[in-house]
């Protein structure tokens, strides 16, 4: 650790210690001190936003206070690993590596420890992968070591059901205490013992899949799963552990999961963040009828944004929030996906690859043909409500896969890029006028068009 880094680290630790005593009283005092010490104009917009949150005591302020209901050791590890290592220190190293290497360098790496799963849900991309593949502990450790050299301190497990390999995941938390690990999970394997292990290692955060209330959830995931998930949430909350929900909106459940009732249920259950994914018709047997209509997607867009200014929960609606990250984040622009077989995919939905982590380095994977094609073409559309080269701009994915010779990494049933994009082309055509209307009406906020304040 360099001198500058040690000083920053020390300052952050002191600030956190100060807030710990009495967050309600000390957060405003600390902000006033920052304002006094920081040269005028430095991070003015960000400081202004934080000051508003404190003065208005709005839903974001309530969310900050909810962090102080967590176990103190877990909270400290989260601030250290997520805020300092992954976002401050990590971003600086990533930026240097991007310039030096001329390729994308991600903020997070998603990987599948296993393709095995104890459930079989309708429309799950993981279900298409077969169920007997695993990345060894040594391979995951090697990916993390290589990632840290590039400034990556955020690792996200997908699958399969990652918790099928609980013991290895806890071991990896111990081996890399400076990283934050987040895991998508169906929640059914979270029990008292695992909560105790999470409290011990401090750097493991589950994101539990939920598709709505009991009927909607269990019709996709299986009878009795909703009750098991609610039980897992109770355990996590009782142990002061942070956790989120991951949900996929379809033509069937979009109203359920964007209802006020659903948001309130999540908050009451202790959920700190909710990640909303648009249903993707990936795989030869994908159910195209689950794709939301333009009106249904607009309803999701409107409701999540409305709740963002009233509910004490952090939400991300990946397909409708691309404006905050400048478009598609795949192929290492913000993240990449490594399958249980070791193939380096652009993202969890796009399964075309030219590289395998067993015979190439992480850096060379980032320079592989399809990764460089993404790098050279992102963003794929100026309209940030049409970010995806598969869903909203299918001609772009067809061209990149054909030009780079990337092959499909679905081990059970190979899907050609034409088959995939033929399914999304009608969707893209129908969504375009609605997306143009919404984007034209968007005033733009930080990171997008006009620099003005949005809803």
Binding site for ligand SF4 (CB under 6 A): 328-330, 346-347, 349-350, 387-390
Q: Among residues 85 and 334, whose Cβ is nearest to ligand SF4?
A: 334
Helix, strand or coil, per DSSP, at residue 277: strand
Phi, psi of 270 (to 5 degrees): 100, 5
Closest distance of CB 136 from ligand SF4, Å: 26
DSSP conformation class of 129: G
Instruction: Find the distance separating the first CA and the last CA of the chain, reported in whole Å.
Output: 41
DSSP conformation class of 239: T
CA–CA gap between residue 178 and residue 79 (Å, rounded):
11
Closest distance of CB 348 from ligand SF4, Å: 7
CA–CA gap between residue 386 and residue 410 (Å, rounded):
25
417-441 helix and 294-308 helix, angle to the nearest 10 degrees: 50
| 349: Cβ contacts below 8 Å, ≥ 6 apart | 125, 280, 282, 390
Q: Among residues 328 and 355, whose Cβ is nearest to ligand SF4?
A: 328
Q: Among residues 267 and 329, whose Cβ is nearest to ligand SF4?
A: 329
CA–CA gap between residue 268 and residue 401 (Å, rounded):
45
Closest distance of CB 431 from ligand SF4, Å: 13
Q: Among residues 175 and 407, whose Cβ is nearest to ligand SF4?
A: 407
Q: Among residues 281 and 346, whose Cβ is nearest to ligand SF4?
A: 346
- 3-state SS of 131-148 is CCCECCHHHHHHHHHHHH
Instruction: Return the bridge partners of 180, or none.
Output: 154
Rg of the chain (C-alpha set):
21
Closest distance of CB 205 from ligand SF4, Å: 21
CA–CA gap between residue 216 and residue 6 (Å, rounded):
49
Q: Among residues 187 and 344, whose Cβ is nearest to ligand SF4?
A: 344
Q: Among residues 344 and 389, whose Cβ is nearest to ligand SF4?
A: 389
Closest distance of CB 349 from ligand SF4, Å: 4
Closest distance of CB 390 from ligand SF4, Å: 5
Q: Among residues 235 and 330, whose Cβ is nearest to ligand SF4?
A: 330
Closest distance of CB 407 from ligand SF4, Å: 17
Phi, psi of 295 (to 5 degrees): -70, -40
Can you say how many angstroms the Cα of residue 245 is from the centroid of all Cα atoms in its chain?
A: 11
Q: Among residues 235 and 397, whose Cβ is nearest to ligand SF4?
A: 397
Closest distance of CB 178 from ligand SF4, Å: 26
Contact yes or no for 209/233 (Cβ under 8 A): no
Contact yes or no for 90/80 (Cβ under 8 A): no
Closest distance of CB 374 from ligand SF4, Å: 8
Q: Which of 393, 384, 345 is nearest to 368 (CA)?
A: 345
């Amino acid at each position: 650790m360099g001198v500058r880094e040690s000083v920053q680290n020390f300052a952050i630790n002191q600030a956190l210690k100060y807030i710990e005593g009495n967050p309600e009283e000390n957060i405003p005092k600390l902000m006033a001190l920052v304002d006094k010490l920081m040269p005028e104009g430095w991070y003015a917009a960000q400081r202004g936003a934080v000051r508003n949150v404190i003065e208005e005591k709005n839903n974001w302020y309530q969310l900050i206070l909810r962090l102080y209901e967590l176990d103190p050791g877990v909270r400290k590890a989260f601030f250290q690993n997520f805020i300092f290592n992954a976002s401050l220190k990590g971003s600086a190293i990533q930026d240097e590596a991007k310039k030096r290497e001329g390729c994308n360098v991600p903020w997070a790496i998603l990987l599948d420890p296993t393709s095995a799963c104890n459930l079989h849900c309708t429309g799950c991309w993981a279900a298409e992968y077969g169920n007997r593949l695993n990345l060894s502990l040594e391979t995951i450790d090697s990916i993390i070591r290589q990632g840290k050299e590039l400034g990556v301190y955020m690792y996200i497990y997908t699958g399969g059901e990652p918790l099928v390999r609980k013991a290895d995941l806890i071991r990896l938390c111990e081996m890399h205490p400076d990283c934050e690990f987040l895991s998508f999970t169906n929640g059914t394997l979270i029990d008292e013992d695992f909560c105790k292990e999470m409290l011990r290692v401090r750097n493991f955060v589950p994101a539990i899949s939920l598709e709505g209330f009991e009927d909607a959830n269990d019709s996709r995931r299986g009878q009795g799963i909703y009750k098991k998930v609610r039980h897992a949430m109770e355990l996590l909350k009782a142990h002061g552990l942070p956790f989120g929900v991951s949900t996929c909106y379809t033509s069937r459940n979009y109203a359920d999961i964007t209802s006020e009732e659903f948001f309130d249920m999540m908050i009451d259950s202790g959920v700190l963040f909710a990640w909303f994914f648009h249903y993707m018709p990936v795989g030869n047997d994908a159910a195209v009828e689950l794709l939301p209509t333009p009106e249904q997607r607009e309803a999701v867009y409107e409701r999540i944004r409305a709740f963002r200014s009233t509910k004490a929960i952090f939400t991300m609606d990946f397909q409708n929030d691309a404006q905050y990250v400048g478009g598609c984040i795949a192929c290492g622009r913000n993240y990449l996906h490594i399958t249980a077989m070791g193939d380096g995919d652009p993202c969890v939905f796009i399964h075309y690859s030219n590289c395998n982590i067993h015979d190439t380095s992480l850096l060379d994977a980032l320079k592989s043909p399809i990764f460089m094609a993404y790098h050279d073409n992102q963003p794929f559309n100026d309209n940030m409500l049409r970010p995806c080269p598969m869903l909203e701009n299918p001609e772009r994915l067809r061209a990149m896969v054909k030009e780079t010779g990337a092959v499909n990494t679905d081990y059970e049933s190979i899907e050609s890029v034409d088959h995939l994009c033929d399914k999304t082309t009608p969707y893209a055509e129908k969504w375009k006028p609605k997306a143009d209307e919404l984007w034209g009406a968007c005033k733009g906020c930080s990171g997008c068009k006009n620099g003005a304040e949005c809803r």
